[in-house]
Amino acid sequence: MAKRLPLIAGNWKMNNNHLEAIALVQKLAFGLNDKDYDNAEVVVLPPFTDLRSVQTLVDGDKLKIGYGAQDISAQDKGAYTGEISGAMLAKLDCSYVLVGHSERREYHNEDEALVNAKVKAAYRHGIVPILCVGEGLEVRKAGQQVEHVLAQLDGALKEVTAEQAERIVVAYEPVWAIGTGEVATPGDAQEVCAAIRARLAELYSPEVADAVRVLYGGSVKGDNAPGIMAEDDVDGALVGGACLKADEFVKVIRFGEK
Ligand SMILES: O=C(CO)COP(=O)(O)O
């Protein structure tokens, strides 16, 4: 199996103004060393208003921390008040963008068609989508998590080519584990992440499935990261609360250390 470099991405959600953003990225950079960057790709996903400041800091100090946005418009330009286009994000050198986060699906009624349009918008502008999928508690209780997540995956990847899909990042985030402190067991994470990879092999090819990084997200912290990341099909983490404190995020990034 090709060795996939783990990706540890911090979703700041609606936290930190642009001054706080600079302080947090500086603190994070100070806490990391070359070995950390060899073991994992480190990415932060701040609010839109912080991106220019983060870009300037990363460029100026030549930091090895990557960054991206939390959302993208499905449209490229025009009369769409409040929206941010892929072209704007590309101009800020964003490498990644979250698409279909459960909070967007829930609070902004994002459906499969919109998530699919946003995935394609990201590719149009050379930005790698981090596609979020995950089931709610009722679905989990009914044992339907795999079917639910694969339906979300199928919907999001409509008309996405193999060449594009090879670069996607998929984040499995069970909604019941987000911000609740209730982390999925390593076995829960592995079950769904493996099913995602198998579906990518069906939809595209074993090579595509082998290249794609599948992350787990939902109450990941320094102490539970090693167990989750030890699973074969888990290639990293999408971290919420724990990424807002640099020292805790560093612990997650060092998941492999004993
Ligand atoms: O939604 C998440 C990351 O996108 C997970 O958030 P928490 O780590 O706070 O549970």
Confidence of residue 2 (pLDDT cuts 50, 70, 90): very low
pLDDT at residue 41, as a whole number:
98
pLDDT score of 120 more than 90: yes
What tens digit of pLDDT does each residue of 127-165 get?
999 999 999 999 999 999 999 999 999 999 999 999 999
2, 7, 118, 161, 186 from 200: Cα distances, Å: 15, 19, 19, 12, 21
pLDDT score of 212 more than 80: yes
Give the position, in ligand 1's atom list, of the atom nearest the Cα of 221.
8
- Span of 37-46, 214-223, 249-258 with lowest mean pLDDT: 249-258
pLDDT at residue 179, as a whole number:
85
What tens digit of pLDDT does each residue of 3-59 get?
799 999 999 999 999 999 999 999 999 999 999 999 999 999 999 999 999 999 999
d(CA 171, CA 15): 20
Give the position, in ligand 1's atom list, of the atom nearest the Cα of 243.
8
3 state SS for 111-173: CHHHHHHHHHHHHHCCCEEEEEECCCHHHHHCCCHHHHHHHHHHHHCCCCCHHHHCCCEEEEC
241 is in an annotated binding site: yes
Is the CB of residue 217 below 6 angstroms from any atom belonging to ligand 1? yes
Query: Domain containing 13 — which CATH number?
Result: 3.20.20.70
75-102: average pLDDT: 98
Taking all residues of the chain, what is their mean pLDDT, rounded to a whole number? 96
pLDDT at residue 258, as a whole number:
60
pLDDT at residue 183, as a whole number:
85
- Specify if 69 maps to a domain: yes
Confidence of residue 1 (pLDDT cuts 50, 70, 90): very low
- Specify if 258 maps to a domain: no
pLDDT score of 64 more than 50: yes
237-251: average pLDDT: 98
**Domain membership of residue 178 as a residue range:** 7-253
112 exposed, middle or buried (CB, 10 Å; 0-12, 13-18, 19+)? middle
Gyration radius from the chain CA atoms: 17
Positions marked catalytic: 101, 173
Confidence of residue 112 (pLDDT cuts 50, 70, 90): very high
Structural domain tally of the chain? 1
**Which of 7, 8, 12, 13 most suits a substitution to test ligand 1, by most atoms within 8 Å of the C-beta?**
13
- Span of 52-56, 107-111, 166-170, 180-184 with lowest mean pLDDT: 180-184
179 is in an annotated binding site: yes
Residue nearest to atom 6 of ligand 1 (CA): 240
- Specify if 1 maps to a domain: no
- Specify if 28 maps to a domain: yes
